[in-house]
Structures are given as C-alpha cells and as structure tokens.
Amino acid sequence: MPAIMIQGTTSSAGKSLMTAALCRIFANDGRRVCPFKSQNMSLNSYVTSEGFEMGRAQVLQAQAARIEPSVSMNPILLKPTTNRKSQVILKGKPFRNMDAAEYFAFKPSLRPMILEVYRELAAACDVVVIEGAGSPAEINLMENDIVNMGMAEMADAPVLLVADIDLGGVFASIYGTIMLLPPEQRNRIKGVIINKFRGDVALLQPGLDQIEALTGVPVIGVIPYIQDLRLDEEDSATRFNRRAAGQIDICVVKLPRISNFTDFDAFRAEPDVSVRYIASAAEIGAADVLIFPGSKNTIEDLRWAKQAGFADALRQFPGVVFGICGGYQMLGETIVDADGWEVSNGETEAGFGLFQTTTLFQGEKITANVSGAAFGAPVSGYEIHAGKTVGNTQPFVNITQREGSAVNYADGDMRDDRVFGTYLHGIFDSGAFRSVFLNRLRRAKSLTEQTGIDLHQQRDAEIERLAAIVREHLDLRRVYALI
C-alpha cells in the first residue's frame, strides 16, 4: 500500500505535527489514511479503548486522520525509567525494563513484528503516513535501525526530511543529514520541508537554490512559524515553558521522571489560567493550585520532592493540592514496592501523608480506558500505573465504565474540600469538569465564572488550521506523485 515517511534533521524539527497535517490533508481529500511510528520514546502515553498503551503523538495523528487510535499505530513504546533504562512496551503491553545496550541487541528481533503490524494497518488504508524518530543520521544507531531509514526500507516508502529553521543552522543540518547517509538511503529522500520560517521567503531563495544544488534534493515546502498553535510536539513540554499569564496560578511540580504532562494541556484553553512548572518549593509563591503529576519512577521522584522542600511546603500551603497517578500515590502515607517495580523488593517510602492511604506495587501494571463522574460532572480518561492504593476515606471519582463495560467503583481520595487525588489521566480534558474545578477557584477570587471548552473540539480546530497552512505552503502535487 502507498506510504510516505516524515523524518527530521533533529528531534523537535516538526515531524509529529507534519505527520498530523498530512493525515488531515489526505483525510480531507477523501483518502483513508493512518499514521504509524514503529518505535516511540516518550513518557506521554495513552490507553486505547482495549486497554493497550501507546504514544500520545499517534493519538493526535489518529484524530487528524479521523480514525480511532490503535496500538497498531505505535507497536513499540519506550518509557525511560532512569537515564540508562527504559520500560519496553510491545504492542501495548509491558515487556520488560532494559538498558540501552540490552535493547540495542534485542532490537533486530523486533523487525518481523513491526512488519507484520505495519502490513495489517496498511491493508486497511489508502495511504500510511510514517513518522521517524530523532534523526536518520545518528551514525552510531544506523545498524539495525527500525524507526528511520530501516522502517522506510521495510515499507518501501519515500522520505520527506523536515528541518527547523527557527533554531538556526538549517542548511548545515539538511546537508549534514543527507550526506551522512549511505547512497541507497540518501536516494530515499525525495523532498525537504523547511519548518517554522519567519520572514520573506524571497530572502531565503538563494539558500534554497544552493542546498538543492548541493544535495540534489528539492525543497518542496517552506512552512511559516505558526503563532499560538495549541498542539504540542511530542514531549515538547520537557521545555516546560510558562503557559499564559492568567489570574489563576497553577504550579505543576517538575518531577525528574514526570510523565503524562499532557494532562495539563487543557488549561491552555482557559485565558485566565497560567501553568508554571516548578522544581523547588521556593517557587510556589502565591499559587492557587499545586499539582503533583504522574511519574515513571514514583519512589525516586518522591524522594527528590522531599529534598526539594515540598514536604514542609505542603504543610503550609493554603491552596488546592491535586495529585494524579504517581502524584496521588505520593500524597498518601506509604508506598511499598513489594515486587521491586522501581527500587528493591519490599522497600518502603513514606509519602506526604495528606491522605491515609497505602500504595502497594505488586502484580501487573494497570492500563484501562475509563469514564465516570467527579464533582457531578462527566469525566473520561485512562489509568496507567503500577500499584494499587487502599485506605482512601473519601473517594473523589466514581468510575462507571471501563474498557467499554459498565462498572461501579471509586477512585482517588479528597480531604477538606482542598486536597484531591486520582488515577485518572486526562481528567481536565473534560470541559464540564474543568469548569467546575476552575469556577470554584474563580468564586474564591471574585472572578467571572466561565464554561470550559471541550479539548477534543479545540484540538480538531487546531489540526484544521495546521493542515490549511501546510496545504498552502507545501507542494502537494509532488507529495501525491510520490504516493
């Protein structure tokens, strides 16, 4: 089946969003289109309706393609647990933790699985838009590659190379990337897309002419810098820029192994809300809300948070405290790593003690797509966590549906109408719940109450805006000729 692959000269060149843009363009043109990324490294993950874990970027791309996300779109997910190790997720389920050398040796054995999954996905589509990872010119990783040129060869896909001009050095990065590739891989690159350009394209033309002459590859698009695009590049929040400057001040603790920080993207839809990522208790200031987010290594991040002064700060903080997943576990009395998920078997760590709960890391990892209600408003999202928490005295969320089946159980905890905890990632995506939560704060500050925007609808509008701009500035005749 026809395919086209988006690779980049660097990480954050714009591969994920360019893939999303092409998915929406093809979908708008009446094609059945699917995104695909063989291997993803990210701490932002999602749980499908079947309970499988996949990268968030492919979820956004599936929305762009107007199809439901499927783990087939991302069969390998690597979730870093330390600077040297990652949890390896295969076809949506945890396989095991590996260090870099182990995974490098293991990786070639994954090629048959990748090819099988890709072919099944491609058989249901008119075209597949494949995303690479990092740069194809990482010469130390070329051997047995499964995500860049190795994937392009498996799919027999032409490649478009995306380069970010906003950071400078764009022509050097284009030339260096192409010329470091062996000839057979170099010949797969059929076009260059320069991304995030500011200014007059006429002034760029001499450079475009020279880079085409030097590489033999045409520049088929110069995409302008898009102001205030409310779609995140994959893991772009690792830059943790302050978002907006609103009257409601939300602080998110920037844990060393913070995960699923896309939980807080929804606040960007609220003009009177600002989100700050903080690394020490001294930065809390006069915040209205302090959030402890998810973590890929809860016990080590809890220890770090204590050293950063958050235990003392929590005893004095007068505002709202909110914990999600690992952050919820930290707010309890104790965490016990019975099976050695993170540290050593039987090791115990005292939590912050805001809830009378104990979390036991034992048994299999829990992944589930769920929905229910909190504060009387509907919520939906997903659980991704090791461990079960017991001792919650005042559950916060009532779960009524799990993986498409009716259920009835309580999740999380709350105390003093001020401290809240839940396992539900994506809880703030619900416009109704977000309105209730924020309007409680607005009333306390004598601010005007507002109705929250549904995040799915807002993302769809932003995808349309992105696709329209890319359509205007990309030579789509060349792209269609390639597929």
- Catalytic positions are 325, 425
Radius of gyration of the chain (CA): 23
Across the beta sheet with 334-337, the strand order is 347-350, 334-337, 358-360, 388-390
- Which pair of tokens denotes residue 179? 């010329």
Residue 346: left (phi > 0), alpha (psi -120 to 50), or beta? left
Residues linked to residue 189 through DSSP beta bridges, in sequence order: 159
d(CA 215, CA 174): 9
Indicate the Cα dihedral angle 467, 471, 476, 479, nearest 10°. -30
d(CA 467, CA 444): 41
Question: What does the DSSP assignment read for 424-478?
Answer: -BTGGG-HHHHHHHHHHHHHHTTPPP-PPPPHHHHHHHHHHHHHHHHHHHB-HHH
d(CA 222, CA 28): 21
475-478: long-range pairs with CB below 8 Å, 24+: 475/191, 475/220, 475/221, 476/25, 478/190, 478/191, 478/218, 478/220
- Which H or E run includes 88? strand 85-90
d(CA 51, CA 61): 19
CB 410 within 8 A of CB 399: yes
Question: Quick one: how far is CA 353 from the chain centroid?
Answer: 30
Q: How far is CA 247 from CA 179, 229, 279, 445, 446, in A?
A: 51, 22, 21, 9, 11
Closest by Cα among 424, 288, 305 to 353: 305
